[in-house]
Amino acid sequence: MIKVGIIGASGYTGGELLRILAQHPKVEVAAITSRTHEGKKLEEVFASFTGWNGPVFNGSDSADAVDGCDLVFLAVPHGVAMALAPALLEKGQKVIDLGADFRFRDYRIYEAWYKKEHCAREMTKLAAYGLPELYRKEIREAQVVGNPGCYPTSVILPLCPLLKAGVVDPDRIIIDAKSGVSGAGRKAEVAYHFPELFGNFKAYGVATHRHTPEIEQELSRLAGKEVAVSFTPHLLPVARGILSTLHLSLTKTMNTAEVESMLAEAYQGEPFIKIVREPQLPELKNVTGTNCCHIAVRVDPRTRQLIVVSVIDNMIKGASGQAIQNMNIMCDLPETMSLVQWPVYP
């Protein structure tokens, strides 16, 4: 059995890690932490875990809280993970950070966008970007994985084959993305209260969102040149899910069926990527509760625009499910282990 620790287990992504790992046949959750819930049983914090048979919350915020674990998930806010990760690595533990501290190949970009100094700069060079469909080999060899952001996952997956094949103009990428509220974490700010959200819909972080440089980092590698994108996130009044609509310009004449076939071929054999064929379009409820990304395309012959729609569950393929997919790869386990689920529908 692989002994796993979760630092930040009382948050949304921590809870989702626990829910998925509870049915993992090769994992024992050996340590969970939360400073506010020290000594409590998991079911006292999440009643949904009634009957769960694991350790109580350790209240320490130091790396010692997960001593003895083979692999540690860091499900904590940005800036916290980089302070903990070096000590874990020194003890020979594998690390998967669900936040942004190890996503950037150049720590200066992190420092500029997250407005904080990186205290583990050298370690960022060792980290693999945890998008298995693109970096499986690097992830297998890595001790540290920076799990991708939720919006970047929904954007990079559909764009990868298109940019590699050179069929879309990398200088004209417009991303219109909408996320459910759990993406903001389990916080109690007024902006996330029911009366503020219910019946409402709004854009935020326009032209400033910190996922922009992460998307650009990966798209630039794929395109083989510097790419700048226009990215606008929105807050959807639902609990889970991200739907991203990409507006792209084709560089050659193609129809919808041809683009569908290109994507289907690129992702053939990928267990979590589904190309949804015309006339169907992706919907949040088709992926809620799963580690899947559904992608559809339409070519508008009048404008030569290619419209791509992708959906993921922000907490699963956008966070905890992808982190467990990475864990399976790093630990030489079948990649889909404990991740094969049909969606909860309706």
Ligand X SMILES: NC(=O)C1=CN([C@@H]2O[C@H](COP(=O)(O)OP(=O)(O)OC[C@H]3O[C@@H](n4cnc5c(N)ncnc54)[C@H](OP(=O)(O)O)[C@@H]3O)[C@@H](O)[C@H]2O)C=CC1
Interface residues with ligand X (CB under 6 A) are 8-14, 34-37, 61, 75-78, 80, 98-99, 149-150, 182-183, 185-187, 314-315, 318-319
Q: How far is the CB of 179 from ligand X2W (least distance, A)?
A: 4
Q: Which of 69, 150, 160, 293 is catalytic?
A: 150
Q: How far is the CB of 244 from ligand X2W (least distance, A)?
A: 12
CB-nearer residue toward ligand X2W: 229 or 254: 229
Q: Tell whether residue 80 is a contact of ligand X2W (CB under 6 A).
A: no
Helix, strand, coil in percent for the chain, rounding step 5: 35, 20, 45
- C-alpha to C-alpha distance for 241 and 150, rounded to whole angstroms: 9
Q: Tell whether residue 316 is a contact of ligand X2W (CB under 6 A).
A: no
Q: Tell whether residue 184 is a contact of ligand X2W (CB under 6 A).
A: yes
Residue 142, amino acid: A
Residue nearest to ligand X2W (CB): 183
CB-nearer residue toward ligand X: 135 or 151: 151
Residue 29 interacts, among ligand X, ligand X2W, none and using kind-specific CB cut-offs from 5 to 8 Å, with: none
CB atoms near residue 329 (< 10 Å):
23
Q: Looking at residue 287, what DSSP letter applies?
A: T
Q: Which residue has the tokens 């409402």?
A: 200
Q: Tell whether residue 160 is a contact of ligand X2W (CB under 6 A).
A: no
Q: Tell whether residue 155 is a contact of ligand X2W (CB under 6 A).
A: no
Residues 6+ apart with CB under 8 A from 4: 21, 27, 28, 29, 30, 69, 70, 71, 72, 73, 327
Using alpha carbons only, give the angle 24, 130, 343 rounded to the nearest 5 degrees: 50
Q: Which of 150, 219, 306, 309 binds ligand X2W (CB under 6 A)?
A: 150
Which residues, 48 to 77, sit near ligand X2W by CB under 6 A? Answer: none
Q: Tell whether residue 244 is a contact of ligand X2W (CB under 6 A).
A: no
CB-nearer residue toward ligand X2W: 144 or 235: 235
160 catalytic residue (yes or no):
no
CB-nearer residue toward ligand X: 256 or 320: 320
Which residues, 204 to 223, sit near ligand X2W by CB under 6 A? Answer: 211
- C-alpha to C-alpha distance for 243 and 315, rounded to whole angstroms: 13
Q: Tell whether residue 100 is a contact of ligand X2W (CB under 6 A).
A: yes
Q: Which of 146, 149, 158, 241 binds ligand X2W (CB under 6 A)?
A: 149
| Tokens describing residue 191 | 């902006």
Residue 235, amino acid: L
Q: Tell whether residue 179 is a contact of ligand X2W (CB under 6 A).
A: yes
CB atoms near residue 146 (< 10 Å):
28
- C-alpha to C-alpha distance for 3 and 29, rounded to whole angstroms: 6
- Strands of 305-312's sheet, edge to edge? 202-203, 230-235, 168-179, 242-250, 305-312, 293-300, 273-275
Question: Would you please indicate which residues are annotated as catalytic (active-site) residues?
Answer: 150
**Binding positions for ligand X2W, rule: CB under 6 A:** 99-100, 149-150, 179, 183-184, 211, 233, 235
